[in-house]
Chains A and B, each alone.
Chain A
């Protein structure tokens, strides 16, 4: 059978222009075949592995797997490249695998379900990367919050185009926003983002296009 899992914005990609394929078992757009413009890009990274660890023992559980989580709520620490561990809520942690990793390690091999006093859940979210020179301007069009003023380790819960989103702003070399939203909001939000990115001279990028940018160090 064909891969069962599909990106929530799969239909937004023109199959004729994009090379489609599977990443981590999810059908997704891989590459658009053209260079990503410096002005801006929006890429769909929904295939990146994400796990939610919930319960009184969640922090201990992560520590047992060599992952130290932030002590402060709504902060994230890097797990290398663009991977992250986020302290979301009381006894609740989100682990996002680095997008370039196809074998994200034993933590992601754990089957969802109860693990003693920790509940492990596969976290489904639309996950986008928004980068390029116009990234801050694009976000300013859609979000009333001054995201550009936030420090890099803050996990921001806000709204973009009236959709609830979680935002990470990364500024290693250039500004990149990682935006996560509910799959139900994904088609609408991605459509708006594509529209604004294109108005600002940017392009839609595939998953592998983003990885290339990441490897090039142009936009981390």
Chain B
């Protein structure tokens, strides 16, 4: 056990003992331990395997900055062991291994690394082609990290919104200073941090500094007391959208914070040095080691070497010694120590200082055993035995969210760090992110940022001046050392070595954007937090350019990986129900989507053709009823109502008499058919129109646009959801309807295409005598709240005639026999009315209407036509289907848009677009089916059925009984 004595700020509860399993073995930790800290405390240093070569890996940052240790439990995958608290009885295992972590068989891949160079998948496997499926399967099998248990049903994660005036991201020294400054102001402030406790580096880098702890305690007391500050721990800011919207991701779900000003106190991310075998377990970032010591009271090793290039490394070395770790040496990459006092103290403790040196190589079998130190000037090489190497060689700004907010960054040559140069209004950066490193300066910078934010929001705050950026570098300009034997890892997520970037640059990928995609540097789960900065330095070095000129790759959301469940949140799949929806379900309907609507496909499961034909026969032979509430319904009212319709539709309305309807269709500005329906005249200045189910909003927009453009005095009222509608159709429809209404249904009193208003089954209704399905029929519209009652009463009244509901599939068959088109099925995004035989409805002699100019041009250019065809071919296994191609010789000459077997005609009928030269009645067409079979069809006139519309007249039907 390497658990340390109690530390002043430790996060663990030593009274709570928690047992868990890792790789099949039992371990014990304390409450508050994360998985990594508990395992390290038990002496388990090998915690994971790398992605590509399956190299042994241990902890690196002990923060969410690397993905060295990803685990799998029974219920979850890709668990970040450095962050996730241990849970009683839970079992964990490493991801991406074959045969367990210790003996992982796939580590043999490392032996073949010379055959797996950068971009190898672009260069190999495509020859011979027949082998590709094998390679694809193998790569898919070997790649990826954790495995998802698709049978597991976890709890739903929440999604909510939070509105505030100031959002402070990061509760380290600068963030706390900013929040404390705003305490007791009248601003609504949210302070968030990804850690479970506030304080940031105050808890580990400054844990032994009394003044730092005093500031921390006072600031927290101010924040606790302030009613205007909400503290949100354990949640990370995942992105920044529209400058002021930041989704906070926590274990419970996502809170979208909408702020009026944001202060980013996100700090910096410690960067690793790059040298041979720099990924061995035991090689840790100095701040990672300090997190282990101060938060979890775990010593990361017995004997360590500290590799540094800054003041922080010296202070960390003292910290390690204070914790009882033997510090064998401090290797400084710079010639002069950056902290003379600390250097003197280290020497006083008998610790060896090696200036102007670097680590040449780390050695060990599965864990660090020694490092080879190379002195730059003297050329002396010495090996130091150690089981820990702590790296403190530089920092990269945690600035992704600032970039996303619209901030600009530049490279500070004195600091050797990328720093913000400009931020948008209301967006502020503070602390080490700004290149301000001393604790006092970070506190001042945080207070200044708060004052600036308050002033931006109109609060009179005297903003103190911002402290200047440090002029002493805290980052080494090039902490990378190539080794002749390789294995210097620059990206731990993707196992990318320096030699691979070298090859990429030589192949011409010398910009960071290109090299990122070619090499995948920065594309792993940690999104380049510990690799991008070194990658930029490497390109700049190889290409002889400035770091500023190379720039950084675009940091896109998300900052840390976000679970799909968190993104999904609550299931919110909106669907529209008609008022008769429950009745359809009660009758066993199979429902289908029509845009956002749910409609009955047919009234039995899986809609077999026998059921569809049964529903069809009810309509052709008796009476059927279909729910058409999904139709768009629009009321047009006002002095200019007719003028509006004349402009919006292609036909003329001057002859549309009161109480009559007509078929109408609409084109867009390019002359393309976009909708059809029925228009009814209710008064001189009052019309009622219907649209297709899915285009009512399009029609409404176009009507409103026309009304506005022409400054018409008209009201356009969307009644689509206000009204229910049914179509009662079939030779017996008049008889059934007559039982429920006192409206005179006589053919002369209520002719075909007529409209009447009255009462049906005691329900106020509007009746339209139209016939989409080609039978005598009535479309009955009533208030939506009464739709279900109307539906049920009509079915009940029609029981003697065998009245039954029919679904969309039967309706499609019925209308096909009549040759009626469906917009969107028998038309496409370029179809004009002339192509589908609707030229009769285009009044080019009208002064103006929407799309007229285009239709004038299109009329003489008829390259294709929608024709009817029939065939005797009825191959049940390989039938003609919609979208099958019409072939002329070796060319595609058209496609089928609708096709079905007509029970009444006893042949297959359909509609197809064909080239004009093939549109003559009697022309033989060749249609290719799915299997490639060629079927012959013959172009025929439409309607296929009842061309004289005799079925839509009631003369053949027996006298009806009236409600009276």
Contacts and interface: CB of A to CB of B under 8 A. Distances in A.
Contacts of B762: 1, 4
Interface stretch (A6-14, A35-43, A205-213): A6-14
A109 to B, nearest CB: 14
A66 interface: no
Interface string B656-688: 000000000000000000000000001100100
Given A8-B785, A184-B577, A124 B638 contact: no
B721 interface: yes
A46 interface: yes
B786 A188 contact: no
Given A140-B161, A161-B574, A55 B721 contact: no
Given A54-B637, A56-B713, A163-B574, A183 B784 contact: yes
A200 B912 CA distance: 56
Interface string B705-739: 00000000101010111110000000000000000
A206 to B, nearest CB: 17
A144 B683 contact: no
Interface in B543-571: 570
A121 B717 contact: yes
Contact of B715 (A6, A7, A91): A91
B575 interface: yes
A140 B160 CA distance: 6
Given A4-B786, A56-B713, A162 B686 contact: no
A140 B161 CA distance: 5
A119 interface: yes
Interface string B244-269: 00000000000010100000000000
A17 interface: no
B785 A5 contact: yes
Contacts of A6: 579, 785-786, 788-789
A108 to B, nearest CB: 14
Interface in A99-145: 112, 114, 119, 121-124, 137, 140-141, 143-144
A146 B164 CA distance: 10
Nearest to A123: B722
A190 B162 CA distance: 23
Nearest to B686: A114
A55 B715 contact: yes
B27 interface: no
A149 interface: yes
Contact of A184 (B570, B578, B717): B578
A184 B721 contact: yes
A24 B927 CA distance: 60
A192 B785 CA distance: 21
Interface string A177-211: 00000111111100010011000000000000000
Contacts of A121: 635, 717, 719, 722
Contacts of B790: 4
Contacts of B788: 6
A90 B761 CA distance: 36
Nearest to A28: B785
Interface string A152-166: 000000000111000
A52 B717 contact: yes
Contact of B574 (A141, A148, A162, A195): A162
A1 B762 CA distance: 8
Contacts of A149: 163
B638 A56 contact: yes
A182 B576 CA distance: 9
B159 interface: yes
- Which applies to chain A's interface (DSSP): helix, strand, loop or mixed? mixed
A141 B570 CA distance: 9
Interface string B153-179: 000001111110000000000000000
A62 to B, nearest CB: 15
B256 A137 contact: no
A26 interface: yes
Given A55-B637, A124-B783, A184 B597 contact: yes
B163 A146 contact: yes
A92 to B, nearest CB: 7
A143 B572 contact: no
B9 interface: no
B256 A144 contact: yes
Residue from A91, A122, A140, A184 with most neighbouring chain B CB atoms (10 Å): A184
Contacts of A114: 637, 682-683, 686
Given A5-B786, A122-B783, A161-B572, A187 B577 contact: yes
Given A119-B635, A124-B722, A146-B258, A140 B715 contact: no
Residue from B639, B715, B720 with most neighbouring chain A CB atoms (10 Å): B715
Contact of A137 (B160, B258, B575): B160
Interface string B789-819: 1100100000000000000000000000000
A1 B722 CA distance: 23
B683 A46 contact: no
A90 B717 CA distance: 11
Given A119-B635, A184-B597, A124 B572 contact: no
A8 B784 CA distance: 8
A192 B569 CA distance: 12
Contacts of B793: 1
A49 to B, nearest CB: 12
B873 interface: no
Contacts of B256: 144
Interface string B570-609: 1010111111011000000000000001000000000000
B763 interface: yes
Contact of B576 (A5, A55, A148, A184): A184
A7 B788 CA distance: 10
Contacts of B158: 141
Interface in A53-67: 54-56
A140 B162 contact: yes
A173 interface: no
A5 B783 contact: yes
B524 to A, nearest CB: 32
Contacts of A146: 161, 163, 258
Contacts of B786: 4-6
A26 B786 CA distance: 9
Contact of A54 (B717, B763, B789): B717
A70 B129 CA distance: 74
A2 B761 CA distance: 11
A173 to B, nearest CB: 22
A4 B578 CA distance: 16
B721 A183 contact: yes
Contacts of B763: 4
A86 to B, nearest CB: 15
Given A92-B715, A119-B715, A146-B258, A192 B783 contact: no
A4 B784 contact: no
A71 B939 CA distance: 63
B845 to A, nearest CB: 31
Interface of B: 158-163, 256, 258, 570, 572, 574-579, 581-582, 597, 635, 637-639, 682-683, 686, 713, 715, 717, 719-723, 761-764, 783-786, 788-790, 793
19 contacts: A1-B761, A4-B789, A52-B717, A54-B715, A55-B715, A56-B713, A92-B717, A114-B686, A119-B717, A122-B722, A124-B783, A144-B161, A144-B256, A146-B258, A148-B163, A184-B576, A184-B597, A188-B574, A188-B577
List the 5 closest pairs (A to B, CB-CB), nearest first.
A182-B721, A184-B576, A4-B789, A146-B163, A5-B785
Given A114-B637, A182-B721, 5 more contacts: A4-B789, A46-B785, A141-B158, A183-B722, A192-B572
